[in-house]
A and B are shown apart, each in its own frame.
Chain A
Amino acid sequence: MSSGSIAVTGIGLISSIGSTVEENLQAIVAGKHGLSRVVNFPTRLREHIWVGEIKRSNDQLSDNLDLLRPHAFTRTGLLGAFAARQALKSANINDVNQLRTGFISSTSVGGMDYTERYGSTYLTSSEWHRYIPSHPAGDSSHKIAKYLGIKGFVTTVSTACSSAANAIMMGARLIHAGRLDRVIVGGADALSKFTINGFHSLLILSDEPCQPFDKQRKGLNLGEGAAYLVLESQKSVKQGSKNVLAYLTGYGNANDAFHQTASSDDGEGAFLAMKKALAVAQLRPQEIDYVNVHGTATPNNDLSEGRAMQRIFKNEIPSFSSTKPFTGHTLAAAGAIEAVYSILALQQNLVFPNLHFNTPMEEFDMIPQTTIQYRSASHVLSNSFGFGGNCSSLIFSKA
């Protein structure tokens, strides 16, 4: 690896298919998805949608984290602390403030889950007021940082569904600039009525398990989860004799500048993001072995992303798949969860299956990997796109 590469030395993850990285890997290898009906809170949409919900209550998560009650962690903060703790452990970090260590999280929902639950009482009763300051997006980052004992650089990114990819990118750029020795980066988002109803009002939720890149795809399934990566400079890796899981070699961010929620027909933003990431990694498109696509299974995303991939890869499209049929679309966390999956693909030499694919799309001849494929991979590209035209791509390379 070039001296400019950023090492990934730790990963942590919780999603609807498992509470650890290992559980997630086992579920994917077994082809076991995590979609179900909503159980954790009441909603009118219960029987209409499938979600990637984590079957642990907030109380169970609090107990697992040994949090003293009453606290004002929202579910986003709980899931984030759960995954970030794993990432630190995986990186063998005991004294988190030993080096210049930062924390960059991301979320789209923030503390909306508690605001939607208790907000209607706030003006008449003070019983739940402790959750009022938990509403802003930055609050979960502060709580997670405090939980991890980080005193220093802490911030938060929110670019809708590409949030975590941008948090990862920001961390890498801070290390490159020599401002941090290591940084914990990623994202967390809890399911909420607000987001479920929002996506429902946009008519982009499928009433069946989602089918990315399929002609019959009907929309997405929402999910929840959190994932964090520990990024370290080469110097920090050498000093600590750290085990490197993978390298973050490329990253790109561009804006589609087409529509607030829809992607352009030619996937311009996605194309530019992938192009930039390849340039940063100094790789040719043909050197990418696997693309973990954004692949939400909305008619618009998959067509736009597919076209962008055709523009980048021409006639040599690498193996690709969307892992969202396993986890649901975990919004701000998706970029981090899928970054961990990309690293697993490199470590385990496998390409994950794109579940529920039956019929190729009419617009192009692109068929995702439908069964698990064991093959050596050196470079994996991961895409994350969001409302507001925010497109980001990351490239991970074998350690």
Chain B
Amino acid sequence: MTTQGVWRPDFFSEAREIDQAITTADQPSYKGLASPAAIRRMSRGMKMGMYAAQQALGETAVTVPDAIITGTGLGCSEDSDKFLRSMWENDEQFLTPTSFIQSTHNTVAAQIALQLSCKGYNVTHVNGASSFESALLDTLLLLTSGEHKNVLLGGIDEIAEQTYAFLQAAGYIKASGLRETVKNSLSPGVNYAEGAQFFSMGVDQTETSYGEVVDVALQNELDIPEAGSFLQDFLTTNDIQPTAIDAVILGYNGDENDDLFYNALQQELPLTTPLYYKHLSGQFDSCSAFGLAAAAFILKYQTIPPVLYWNEKNPAKTTWKNILIYNHYRGKDHTLVLVRTC
């Protein structure tokens, strides 16, 4: 569930570039997701999350996963905002609990567990731009240790009017009314959006598998010159040469400082095809999950949607085996994810 609508085969060929400060995700009809009364009470994040979770499971034979693991930077902001405003407006009186109940960061993972009657491992990771990768690492730990066979993994962040207005006031989000894209960004701040990206992860390869997540690394802070060694250490750990990386998916978001890190990493991989995706997903804490979805698409269909090319450096490759995803936000929460064909 993204600004580009729901996941589908022509997802990238129909994609439109974001050129506004705040772009909402195209919401489908949620009919059938739950009772109409329940749907009315749900926040955007809950609806998007439950929908995307259902869709991810729908592509597999798994009906009830062994575990549910999610990542979200801001959690259920819409309900937090609602409860906070009503506390301010009514001076701590006449408060109803619904929005408080739904304000905890783990609400989406909990609601999915409830809907699927999934009593297994259930954790929500909330660490800014590496929230999703924390959840991905947790997933890898469960699957590689043999504890579990399959995990439902998700990254969710929703637009909440007040929270986003605050982020805009602080200069994180571009001013309303501007029409800038990632590539022609001139003003400070970035284009924000929202989304819910879910993945059905399993130990076994199946007919519907997209690819394999090999490894993930997290680092709280880096200076630009350190991006290279962060990459080299990761490649060494995974015993892979820089030349073997066919494509690198970079988190370019149009912020001058943020993009310097992506330039630095790109220089370390001169033979690798650089790609980007935040011109389609927008920025939000768990948006790097969109990058993983893009990687999964490339591995499965063995073609790169032209809209993802960062520049003209497009070698006439016919196979895409190893893909690296690099993300960070404002110099913090750096993550590397290595995926390959399976």
Give the interface of A toward B (CB within 8 A): 43-45, 103, 108, 110, 112, 115-116, 119-120, 122-123, 126, 129, 132-133, 135-139, 141-142, 145-146, 150-160, 166, 170, 173-174, 176-177, 193-194, 197-203, 253-261, 268-269, 272, 386-390
Contact = CB atoms under 8 A, between A and B. Distances in A.
Given A254-B122, A255-B68, A151 B220 contact: yes
B323 interface: no
17 contacts: A119-B88, A123-B169, A129-B170, A132-B172, A135-B163, A151-B220, A155-B125, A158-B124, A158-B125, A198-B97, A253-B121, A255-B120, A255-B122, A272-B119, A387-B106, A390-B106, A390-B110
A193 B138 CA distance: 33
B92 A193 contact: yes
Contacts of A174: 141
Contact of A151 (B101, B163, B221): B221
Given A129-B170, A177-B144, A260-B110, A156 B122 contact: no
B285 to A, nearest CB: 8
B92 A257 contact: no
Contacts of B254: none
A59 B97 CA distance: 32
Interface string B71-89: 0011100001001100110
Nearest to B109: A388
B248 to A, nearest CB: 22
B127 interface: yes
A270 to B, nearest CB: 11
A119 B145 contact: no
A158 B128 contact: no
Given A129-B170, A157-B125, A108 B104 contact: yes
Given A119-B84, A194-B87, A197-B87, A150 B123 contact: no
A232 B59 CA distance: 40
B150 interface: no
Given A158-B104, A170-B138, A201-B97, A194 B83 contact: yes
B110 A115 contact: no
A193 B87 contact: yes
B126 interface: yes
Given A110-B126, A387-B110, 6 more contacts: A103-B220, A136-B285, A153-B220, A201-B97, A253-B122, A386-B106
Rank and list the top 3 A-B pairs by shortest CB-CB distance, nearest first. Answer: A388-B110, A198-B100, A154-B220
B84 A115 contact: yes
B74 to A, nearest CB: 6
A201 B97 CA distance: 5
Contacts of B219: 151-153
Contact of B220 (A120, A142, A387): A142
B114 A260 contact: yes
Contacts of B96: 201
A211 B233 CA distance: 53
Contacts of A272: 119
A272 B66 CA distance: 13
Contacts of B232: none
A66 to B, nearest CB: 21
Nearest to A199: B100
Contact of B119 (A133, A145, A199, A268): A268
B23 interface: no
B84 A194 contact: yes
A138 B127 contact: yes
B104 A138 contact: no
B106 A200 contact: no
B273 interface: no
Contact of B120 (A103, A129, A176, A254): A254
Contact of B169 (A122, A173, A269): A122
A139 B129 CA distance: 11
Contacts of A158: 75, 104-106, 124-126
A137 to B, nearest CB: 4
B341 interface: no
Given A202-B97, A272-B119, A173 B145 contact: yes
B289 to A, nearest CB: 15
A138 B119 contact: no
A160 B103 CA distance: 10
B124 A157 contact: yes
B95 A156 contact: no
B207 interface: no
Contacts of A155: 125, 127, 130, 134, 218
A44 B221 CA distance: 41
Contacts of A126: 169
B222 to A, nearest CB: 8
B117 interface: yes
Contact of B111 (A132, A173, A253, A260): A260
A261 B124 contact: no
Contacts of B114: 257-260, 389
A160 B75 CA distance: 12
Nearest to B107: A388
Contacts of B220: 103, 142, 145-146, 150-154
B15 interface: no
A141 B101 contact: no
Given A116-B87, A389-B110, A137 B75 contact: yes
A116 B166 CA distance: 13
B316 to A, nearest CB: 38
